[in-house]
Amino acid sequence: MDKNGLITLWKDFAERSDYFKLNPEKDFVSLLAEGVLTNEKNKGFRNCPCRLSDGSYEKNVDLLCPCNFKSQANWAEKGRCWCGLFFRK
């Protein structure tokens, strides 16, 4: 998958939700997509580029993008996921 395909996947994911939306800053979203795809190339899975991974899928499954952001304190406190890819509607 390329960067545009991943961004489309994220857009579709957000559009199916009544609770969150994709960050409208296209350059920011593009940078995140590049980071996720770099992590996939280097580590074998799409973990969030702003969170540290030890490279183990089993230990870092909670960092997969899109992560389970609604369970994070950042979502409750700031209305966005950890990295800012998704915002509460």
Tens of pLDDT, residues 42-64: 888 888 777 777 777 777 777 77
Model-level pTM? Answer: 0.82
Amino acid at 81: C
Residue with the bigger pLDDT between 29 and 63: it is 29
Q: What is the pLDDT of residue 69?
A: 80
Question: Alpha carbon of 39 to those of 5, 35, 71: distances in Å?
Answer: 16, 6, 23
Task: For residue 63, give both structure tokens.
Answer: 């960092």
pLDDT of residue 28: 95
Percentage of residues of the chain with pLDDT beyond 90: 44
pLDDT band at 74 (very low <50, low <70, confident <90, very high): confident
Handedness of CA 82, 70, 59, 7 (dihedral sign): negative
Q: Which fold has domain 3-88?
A: Ferredoxin Thioredoxin Reductase (3.90.460)
